[in-house]
Structure 1
Amino acid sequence: MDRMDHLEHLDRQLVDELAQMTRETVRDELREHVHGGGATGAPGAGTPAPGGTGPAAPRREDVNPEK
């Protein structure tokens, strides 16, 4: 195996490893979301807008913490 073949082999191996890690990460994120893991945003980031689309609405206690 010459040097170029060796580098191509290493490139393919690296791509395969990155693809595997990505698949595992996506599976974990989906599993967490499906099983009630909730949003992964910052605490107090708000609640989802009605219908589940669009930006999050601020929580009442974040807007007016006195009440």
Structure 2
Amino acid sequence: MNSDQLEGKWKQVKGKFKQKYGDLTDDDLKYSEGKFDEMMGRLQEKTGKTKEELKAEIDSW
């Protein structure tokens, strides 16, 4: 799955991330056009997962 596909799917999976990782805030999950990598970096910090692990998790939903 490429970044464009991840961005398109993000609206569907951000609620699941909030449920699974309770310490994530709306600001952590906020997607702004052209800032998807920045948001993924915040998720990496909060979850301790690599970008590839997060992409695989998003892809599995």
Greater CA radius of gyration, 1 or 2? 1
Give the helix-richer structure, 1 or 2. 2
TM-score calculated relative to the size of structure 2: 0.26
Higher relative contact order (CA 8 A, sep 6+): 2
TM-score calculated relative to the size of structure 1: 0.25
